[in-house]
Amino acid sequence: MMHRPLRVLLVEDSEDDAELLAYELECSGYELIYERVDTASTMNAALDQQTWDIIIADYTLPSFSAPAALTLLQERQLDLPFIIVSGTIGEDIAVAAMKAGAHDYLMKGKLARLAPTIERELREASERRKRREAEQAVRQNEERFRALIENALDIITVVNADGIIDYESPSVERVLGYKPEELTGKNIFDYIHTEDRVNLAHTLNQVIQSSNLTLSIEFRFQHQDGSWRILEAVGKHLLERDSGSPFINYNKVELESSNIPTRKSSIVLNSRDITERKRAEEIRNTLLRERELSEARFNFVSMMSHEFRNPLTRIRVSSELLKNFKDKTTETQQERCLNNLESAAREMTQLLEDILIITRAEVGKLNLNLNNCNLADFCSNLVEEMQIDAGGKYRLLLTIQGECNPACLDENLLKHILVNLLSNAIKYSPEGGNIWFELSCQNDQAVFQVQDQGIGIPMDDQQQLFESFHRGRNVGKIPGTGLGLSIVKRFVDLHGGKISIKSNVGVGTTFTVILPLNSHQSIGGQLDAKQCHAL
């Protein structure tokens, strides 16, 4: 037989009875450690001295009793199995003792039930202990989390699916001026900026629908003083706990008493105030933008002066030549000087005009002036004019596809765009070259394509062609300001259109401009549509 250790404290005045009981227990297979006590003080001493597995008490002793021993045990908050073994005890007294907390009672002389009773009580006591330990662990955990929540800098909010605030951590008062109880029970949306409500509702819905989704969101929450604070929050579904285990039941009671709800479909929002950070970011961005702008202005002005210096130098040199060598220069030399003066003046005029247009576009002074226009006629006339200018040196070939009327565009700006692209195609092509100009309309869009077989544009330059003054590195002595395409780009943008380039050095270049046939619609109604319909 296996001998199990058992530490028994016997509350018994009779030495003989104690020994008899001990003998019974040893016979039942216990390896016994026992002590007999018969007064409160000896019992206290025994309890102080060591740990006991079980207490077996006689009911009446000369100067002690089972109920007194039980009370003593309870006062010391010891949860030990307490079994009464007595010869004199009546049924009613036994029942009263059980009610007072004794675990069982047995008659002396009928101890067959003793061993199984002890086994059962030991088992139950061990279960009670485990449960107590688990409860203790849960309680400590809860306390730790509550301390974390209540001392956190962030605001912890629990809202239910209807947006009602179920819990608000104490930090809300420091950040938003409200006491937590002022907000609990209120609808969170009443405090959210109207412009942020849809977004917040959308995020909360997403979180509600997916238990493992964590989403972050920014919104404005009205401070108690009426000002708006920007909060950055992380939202997560608060899971309903399983109510099967006793520890969780305990938990629920705890939670209720601390007002943290465990309702279904709640969301925990962990928010912090980022108003100051946002403000600082905004100021930094504004400063950065201003610096960029003033740098861009400075660059523009320096490039502009540089561009003017060139023709001005030519004017100075040519006029000096004419003045100083009036009699010595030949007629052809004189004519060359005069031509130089003329071309320099023309160049400067062009520069001035381009700069004026760009500046007007930049300060928003350039508005679209939309008219109903017949694109096919418009393009035919333009090509005709330009062909006359180009004489026999180049051939402009126009094709038109699709139905382009009615079109609502700014004719002046469109002319500027197309003249620029066509004259570039001419300028950067060898004499005798063909320029293909195609207009095609479909899906409410007009597509203008200008294709040449000229010098092409190096890949590295293509990215920056629309910046003011940028010219391809392969232009050589071909004159130009580097402003044309940046103007074209601005005009295309004004129409809500797009421009793209396809080019290979030595092969040729194709510019494609796509404009909406009805610009006033594609620019989001900023423009007065009546401009077109009135015609």
How far apart (Å, rounded) are the C-alpha atoms in residues 377 and 381? 6
Q: Shortest gap between Cβ of 420 and ligand ADP (angstroms)?
A: 6
Task: Report the residue number, 480 or 516, with the smaller CB distance to ligand ADP.
Answer: 480
Give least dist CB 234 to ligand ADP, A. Answer: 50
Assess contact for 18 and 85: CB atoms under 8 A: no
Q: Minimum Å distance from CB 376 to ligand ADP? A: 24
Q: Give whichever of 351 and 407 is closer to ligand ADP, judged by the CB atom.
A: 351
- Smallest gap from residue 474 Cβ to ligand ADP (A): 7
Q: Are 503 and 460 in contact (CB under 8 A)?
A: no
Least Å distance, CB 216 to ligand ADP, is 45
Q: Report in angstroms how near the CB of residue 286 gets to ligand ADP at its nearest.
A: 31
Cα atoms found within 13 Å of the Cα of residue 216, Cβ hemisphere only:
4
Contact 236, 214 (CB under 8 A): yes
Least distance (Å) between residue 458 CB and ligand ADP: 8
- The radius of gyration computed from the CA coordinates of the chain, to the nearest angstrom, equals 48
219 vs 437, beta carbon nearer ligand ADP = 437
Residue 466 C-beta: closest distance to ligand ADP, Å: 8
DSSP string, 137-186: HHHHHHHHHHHHHHH-SSEEEEEETTSBEEEE-THHHHHHS--HHHHTTS
**CB 513 → ligand ADP: shortest distance, Å?**
13
Q: Are 394 and 429 in contact (CB under 8 A)?
A: yes
- Number of neighbouring beta carbons within 10 Å of residue 340: 18
Between 137 and 507, CB nearer to ligand ADP:
507
Nearer residue to ligand ADP within complex by CB, 235 or 454: 454
Q: Which is nearer to ligand ADP, 67 or 484 (CB)?
A: 484
Distance of CA 290 to the CA centre of its chain: 27
Q: Considering the complex, what minimum distance in angstroms separates the CB of residue 198 from ligand ADP?
A: 45
Q: Please, which contacts does 219-225 make with residues 24 or more away whose CB atoms are closer than 8 Å?
A: 219/192, 219/193, 220/192, 220/193, 220/195, 220/196, 221/176, 221/191, 221/192, 221/193, 221/271, 222/191, 222/192, 222/193, 223/176, 223/177, 224/176, 224/177, 224/178, 225/177
Q: Cβ neighbours of residue 520 under 8 Å, at least 6 residues apart?
A: 370, 408, 527, 528, 529, 531, 532
Check residue 189 and report its DSSP letter. G
Least spacing, CB of residue 358 vs ligand ADP, in Å? 11
Provide the H-helix boundaries in 258-364: 275-324, 331-362
Both tokens assigned to 165: 């605030």
Taking the least distance from each CB to ligand ADP, the nearer of 222 and 350 is 350
For the CA atoms of 486, 489, 490, 492, the dihedral, rounded to the nearest 10 degrees, stands at: 160
Distance of alpha carbon 434 from alpha carbon 234, whole angstroms: 63
Which residues are CB-neighbours of 175 under 8 A, at least 6 positions away? 155, 229, 272, 273
CB-nearer residue toward ligand ADP: 268 or 426: 426
DSSP 8-class letter at 112: G
Nearer to ligand ADP, 191 or 437 (CB): 437
Select 341 or 475, whichever has its Cβ closest to ligand ADP.
Answer: 475
Closest by CA to 52, choosing from 36, 75, 29, is 36
In the complex, the residues that contact ligand ADP under the rule CB under 6 A are 420, 424-425, 428, 452, 454-457, 465, 471-472, 475, 480-486, 509
* Nearer CB in complex with ligand ADP: 200/485: 485
